[in-house]
A and B are shown apart, each in its own frame.
Chain A
């Protein structure tokens, strides 16, 4: 956990994690409203399915992502999209990171 008063306090702790930063940055590259399948996202990021699910769940719980499952059984498909809240959070994170690095 980040200690009180550290330089990284201004950074959203949900995004300031390597795996989750990669997930959010990758989804932000899609046009607004488009979604990416779980399989393609996993290939692009290179995480194991278990790890990816863990991080996606944390981001979804915070309202940063929207996941949608379509179909049943082997034909089922999960797609993931960045929500408006997630996009705003990434913008805020990027701005905070820029300010922090400018002050170093």
Chain B
């Protein structure tokens, strides 16, 4: 179709058709440029459930708690790698041809998240050094800690940008992290995994629902 001649100056372009075209084009563009997509959230949810599940399978029933096995940690990192590859591919698809205002700004935004994440592992080292039990240092803290601190950093970032979707996701992650600590050093892995997975699935559903609204 030659778009320069069909209703070129709009005279024959029916307003109803215009409204429909505007809606379909906007939806299609949002879907093509959207990052992260609902599909990515579902892949991440599956990978996280498998990762936390493998740790839980290796620690359940331990008395006293001695921490995850080496094989479970390898599985954890394998699933995290799968999720990271999916994120990379998805980002490449969505951001092909898109130039952002400033890549330096992007890195600046990532600093609080990286600092919050690393602080958990520094704290683990400090607590172990101070003689805290394996149950705290290799159980509750590594399972619930990242969700609480990274979720809190994300909530602050989302609140500053008035991004209500991200704020809801971040607060939900903080709640899952904090609540899962009640499940004890073994159960915390299962509760965190299921909770994290549920939050991501809800996010994917909300994204699809908002797209159709």
Listed in ascending order, the chain A residues whose CB lies under 8 Å from chain B are: 1-3, 6-8, 11, 13, 16-19, 21-22, 25-26, 28-30, 33-37, 39-41, 44, 47, 51, 54-55, 79, 94, 97-98, 100-101, 104
Contacts of A36 in B (CB 8 A): 97-99
C-alpha spacing A35/B100, complex, angstroms: 7
Identify the stretch in B23-31, B49-57, B80-88 within 8 Å (CB) of chain A at 4 or more residues: B23-31
Contacts of B33 in A (CB 8 A): 29-30
A-B contact pairs, 6 of them (CB 8 A): A6-B11, A19-B3, A29-B30, A35-B98, A44-B28, A55-B3
Contacts of B70 in A (CB 8 A): none
Q: Which of B6-31 contact A (CB under 8 A)?
A: 6-11, 13, 15-16, 18-19, 21-22, 25-26, 28-30
Known interface pairs A22-B25, A104-B16; 10 further A-B residue pairs with C-beta atoms within 8 A, sorted by A's residue number: A2-B9, A6-B11, A11-B15, A17-B10, A18-B7, A21-B21, A25-B21, A33-B100, A34-B101, A101-B15
- Tell me if B2 is interfacial: C-beta within 8 Å of chain A: yes
CB-based contact A11/B10 at 8 Å: yes
Q: A100-B15, A101-B15 are in contact. Are A13 and B9 (CB under 8 A)?
A: yes
- Tell me if B66 is interfacial: C-beta within 8 Å of chain A: no
CB-based contact A34/B99 at 8 Å: yes
- Tell me if B96 is interfacial: C-beta within 8 Å of chain A: yes
Contacts of B32 in A (CB 8 A): 44
Q: Which of A1, A40, A54, A97 contacts B98 (CB 8 A)?
A: A40
Contacts of A16 in B (CB 8 A): 10, 13, 18
CB-based contact A97/B19 at 8 Å: yes
Contacts of A17 in B (CB 8 A): 7-10, 13
Cβ-closest 5 pairs across A and B: A40-B97, A16-B10, A19-B3, A37-B97, A29-B29
Q: A18-B6, A19-B3 are in contact. Are A8 and B13 (CB under 8 A)?
A: yes
Contacts of B97 in A (CB 8 A): 36-37, 39-41
CB-based contact B26/A55 at 8 Å: no
